[in-house]
Structure 1
Amino acid sequence: MARPRQPRHVALVVGTRPEAIKLAPVCLALRRTRRVVPIIVCTGQQADLAPRTLAEFGLLPTLSLAPDLLHSPTFARTSRLAGRLATALRRPAGKPLDLILVQGDTLSAVAGAMAGRWLEVPVGHVEAGLRSGDPSDPWPEEQNRRAIAKLAVLHFAPTVQAWRNLVAEGIPQDRITLTGNTGIDAVRLARSWTPMLDTATAGLLSGPAPVLATAHRRNGFGRFQGALAEALNRLAGLGDTVVFVTHTNPRATDPVAARLAPAVQILPPAGFGAFQRLLAHAAAVITDSGGLQEEATVLSRPAVVIRARTERPEAIAAGARLAAPDPGAIVAQTHAARTDPPRPRARWLFGDGYAADRVALRIADFLNAPRTAVGPVATDRLTAAPLTGGAMARQVIE
């Protein structure tokens, strides 16, 4: 009697909250295939927040690295983490790895891709192909994306433009899969949750729609923070309910919070489910976040992005506004975004909420995983959706 073929093992490298949000649906989809065993590896980059976010999806890390507490330049921390991951991923959970999956543009994502190269394990990149066009903005995220593209063998492009960017850089088309953005899957899943809400959040949800604001990118430190605080004070002075949601990095949000008038409400970092409730209720969102550009688009919320350029032009096509780090510009663009609301059909520019299933099926096929007891992946939605090329793009958009 032939010995049954063993399932493949894939490590999902999770360092930050956004990675947890966007890889959790992929982990769930891989499990449903029953062809691939996902191994969640938390890098310690956001040692408390990433596991907490995974828990909202009912997931726990398989392996967790201790946080790197040494204060040193980004390149040094990246190299150290890559070495630690290479050691940890030789045989995680006692099994040889078949693929390392990274997401986005974080330090953990680059380190995971580097570890894969050192271990001679193929690397897959979720949310591949995003490009701002300026290697220094946002920094180091734009450089990280480009570095991962050179290390990965599977590229999961979330949008048509991302797919085109990869093709233009010479990535073979048979290595690119146009999937949609897995963050939209997370938004879809969160709609069915009943998150625990603190008193302040519950009160906001029962009151007038607020203007939400967030800030966290390191290249926004400095004048950006003062400009954001002054803009929020002006909006509150004009009668808006204004809420600033802080980040776990005090360097990102303390300088803003310290300048806010009493009329601006300050909330601690919210869980993903609770924040989705707030975002769906918001009159507008002001942010420097990439993920929030996607979430605001799919929820048809007016958005203002405090950046000179964005690697997500789809958000601009949907009605989001770019604003210079100037109080007057931020206030003006917020009013403009609310006057000209997001375009309803454009909400699908980031995908249909089933990107993770496409990622999972592509991985299983790439690894030639045994087709025994294939689980309930949403194949009914995928039968007419090829894994590469423009036909898939048209289906996702239209």
Structure 2
Amino acid sequence: MQRVLVAFGTRPEAIKMLPVVRALRECKRFNVSVAITGQHRQMLDQVFEVFGEKPDIDLNLMTHNQKLPDITALIISQMSIVLGGFRPDLVLVHGDTTTAMATAIAAFYNRVPIGHVEAGLRSFDLAQPWPEEFNRVAIDSVAEYLFAPTSGAAENLDREYSRGRVYVTGNTGIDALLHVSRQIEVEEREGSNSSRPLVELDPHRSLILVTGHRRESFGAGFEGICSGLAKLATRDDVQIVYPVHLNPIVSEVVRARLGGLNNVHLIDPVSYVDMIRLMKRAKVILTDSGGIQEEGPALGRPVLVMRDTTERPEAIATGTVSLVGTDPLRIYSEVSALLDDEPYYQRRARAVFPYGDGTASTQIAKIITESFCT
């Protein structure tokens, strides 16, 4: 059996990689081992429960106030030890995190082939998102298997020097989203969902769901976001739910600026399943998340991205997603336009699937299987 090491450290990576792990295991041709760094410790554990999985190797490398150079060096050194012990034939990483980039470097140093799931995304600005744009460019430069989610991402890779083979597979995040969304719908039909509501919501007010955590928004960016949300909270017809990221640079500003405001519910980070429930319930989603730019359109929810650039132009092209930056007046006016103009809202609130049909994981497993068998 061929040995495949799947490495990740954050909740978004787990959401998008565990479907790949399951697909590889179903092939019966691979000895699959999952190694995690624990970048998102609590949130990561929740996702494993959803998919009925557990890590084989838990490096648990994160410490309080850890700096990027420190965690990068630590991941490279510790993953090198893992590679020496497991001796994989292939290492799979995802996306643009520090875990993915550092693991890819460790694999390259140890002469182990690398597969990059969600390859080819580009904002073409190394400062936005930072450091993620650098991370994904670095991974793509050394990967031998480049699993691009869209034809646009594949074209980005074709325009660059690439030593790897490019495959368009769709995005594995849609696989996970559709799987969990179907589970939620079954639970609701059968009345078996016994979970408590995360927050008491007024059925007569529109729910604005907010997520925000990007490093490039630290400081003035988050001040602007909070000012925009505070202005939105003055509307009598809205209620804002904001699961606040655990990073104190984010949480301290958000709770100081928005804590105690009417119509604003600041809650702790929620599980993946609960986030999907909130997204399905939301009227509008405000976010700086990459994954939600993919998930929102599939759920038929308008998404306003609190960034100036995006590496996901396919979502913008559908008309369901738009960039609003961190300017408070623009945030307020864009949300208000959706709430106040029903025909405009309906044009934006339609289910579209620019990131695949939910079969990306099986396609990736098939490609890897055929590669090893030839």
Q: Same fold (TM over 0.5)?
A: yes
Residue of 354, 361, 364 corresponding to 2:366: 361
* More displaced stretch, 154-163 vs 28-37: 28-37
User: 1:259, 1:46 → 2: CA distance?
Assistant: 25
CA–CA distance in structure 1, aligned partners of residues 82 and 223 of structure 2:
42
Shift of 1:206: 5.9
Q: In the alignment, does 2:191 pair up with 1:166?
A: no
Contact 2:9–2:38 (Cα < 8 Å) also in 1? yes
Name the aligned partner's letter for residue 177 of structure 1. Answer: Y
State the identity %: 37
What amino acid maps onto 2:9 in structure 1? G
Matching residue of 2:280: 280
Cα deviation, 1:224-262, whole Å, max 9, x if unaligned, reads: 212212211222211211111111223223311221123
- CA distance change for structure 1 residues 274 and 345 in 2, over 3 Å: closer, same or farther? closer
Q: 1:123-172: CA deviations, max 9, x gaps?
A: 00000000001111111000001100111100000011101000000326
Distance 1:157 1:345 in 2: 25
Measured against aligned partners, the alpha-carbon deviations of 1:257-303 in whole angstroms (never above 9, x if no partner) come to: 22112321112111111110110110001011101111111111011
Candidates 201, 205, 210, aligned match of 1:204: 201
Q: What secondary structure sits across from 1:100 in the alignment?
A: strand
Quote the residue 1:256 is aligned against. Answer: 254
How much is the aligned-residue C-alpha RMSD, in angstroms? 2.0
Distance 2:318 2:338 in 1: 11
1:328 maps to 329
Q: Aligned in 2, Cα 1:346/1:189: closer, same or farther, shift over 3 Å?
A: closer
SS at match of 1:177: strand
TM-score (ref. length: structure 1): 0.85
Q: How far did residue 207 of structure 1 move?
A: 6.2
Local SS of the residue matching 1:237: coil
Aligned to 2:241: 243
Secondary structure of 1:350 counterpart: coil
Residues 293 and 315, structure 1, Cα contact 8 Å, conserved in 2: yes
Q: How many Å separate the matches in 2 of 1:167 and 1:328?
A: 39
Residues in 1 aligned to 2:372 and 2:214: alpha-carbon distance in whole angstroms:
36
Alpha-carbon distance in 2 for matches of 1:206, 1:33? 46
1:326-358 alpha-carbon deviations (Å, 9 max, x no partner)? 111111122345543456787111111111111
- Amino acid across the alignment from 1:154: Y
**Cα displacement (A) at 1:366:** 1.8
- Please state how far the C-alpha of 1:31 moved relative to its aligned partner: 1.2
| Contact preservation (8 Å) 2:37, 2:62 | no
Q: 2:75 aligns with which of 81, 84, 103?
A: 81
The answer on 1:191 being equivalent to 2:191 is no
Alignment of 1:41-52 (within 5 A): 41-52=35-46
What residue is the counterpart of 1:149 in the other structure?
140
**Quick one: which amino acid aligns to residue 63 of structure 2?**
L
Cα drift, residue 21 of structure 1: 0.5
**Closer, same or farther: CA 304–258 of 1 in aligned 2, 3 Å:** same
Partner of 2:189: none
Opposite residue 281 of structure 1, the aligned amino acid is: R
- SS of alignment partner, residue 155 of structure 1: strand
Measured in 1, the distance between the counterparts of 2:348 and 2:328 equals 26
Q: 1:207 to 1:190 in 2, by over 3 A?
A: farther
Query: Which letter maps to 1:166?
Result: L
What aligned pairs does 1:1-398 form with structure 2 within 5 A after superposition? 7-69=1-63, 71=65, 73-92=67-86, 96-171=87-162, 175-194=165-184, 197-201=195-199, 203-204=200-201, 208-239=205-236, 240-260=238-258, 261-319=261-319, 320-337=321-338, 339=341, 340-341=344-345, 347-368=352-373
Q: Which amino acid aligns with 1:224?
A: G
> Partners of 2:350 and 2:334 in 1: how far apart?
22
Counterpart CA distance in 2 for 1:271 and 1:120 is 37
Superposition deviation, residue 66 in structure 1: 2.4
Counting matched residue pairs gives 358
Select the structure with the greater relative contact order (CA < 8 A; seq sep ≥ 6). 1
Would you say the 8 A contact 2:90–2:114 is kept in 1? yes
Q: Which runs of 5+ in 1 are unaligned?
A: 1-6, 370-398
Alpha-carbon distance, 1:83 to partner? 1.0
Give how far 1:77 is off.
Answer: 2.1
Which TM-score applies when normalising by structure 2? 0.90
